[in-house]
Amino acid sequence: MSDAPAGPDGLPRCPWGLSTPDYVAYHDEEWGRPVHGDDALFERLSLEAFQSGLSWITILRRRPGFRAAFAGFRIATVAEFTDADRERLLADTGIIRNRAKIDATLANARVLAAWAPGDLDALIWSHAPDPEGRPAPRTIADVPAVTSESTALSKALKKRGLRFVGPTTAYALMQACGLVNDHLEACVARSAPKGRGAPSISGSAAGRDQPR
């Protein structure tokens, strides 16, 4: 039996997508849709790192502040941030002022700035599993927090010098960016374009498995 309850419009959705009004548009329009582009993926990777240990709604509500503070998560720009920028970030009440996470984001930008254009996109998407081998989850209990692919992606990112990219964070990235489709079987958003070769989003967004 599926546990996708009906929303105000009568359409079934993943339970977390109805848990707060902030989630409805995010669930319907962003989470699980394919995302491409190094800067867009850098944003999502960074926000997933900031989410670690916190509720995702905390990050989602601060996303405009994060984008302003980190120059739209443009890798080339963030890579040039100075010590003064770091102090500015540590004092910015519009973001999560966690020193380790801020330092990791700045360090990751510097690492990525040395990569060839498209390398981050290619590396992340090379870990997308074959959707034919993934049955649609019927309940939240069917949705994993970590997979062999996310573990491999985490190792690959760490090997290339990135920080705050553990297997759970990597899987949340895979879910949010459409590498996997973890909308429940009965969810209205499950039939939206997903997976390799589907139309992509290249703007700014981020997500996590069953955001809390």
Catalytic residue among 16, 23, 26, 171: 26
Query: Residues 61-79, buried b or exposed e (16+ Cβ, 10 A)?
Result: ebbeebbebbbebebeebb
φ, ψ of residue 163 in degrees (nearest 5): -120, 160
* 23 counts as catalytic: no
Catalytic residue among 30, 43, 48, 149: 48
Q: Which long-range contacts (CB under 8 A, 24 or more apart) does 200-204 make?
A: 200/33, 200/34, 200/35, 200/36, 201/30, 201/33, 201/34, 201/35, 201/36, 201/40, 202/35, 202/36, 202/37, 202/40, 203/40, 204/40, 204/43, 204/63, 204/67, 204/72, 204/73
* 171 counts as catalytic: no
* 48 counts as catalytic: yes
Catalytic residue among 16, 56, 125, 171: 56
Residues involved in catalysis = 26, 48, 56
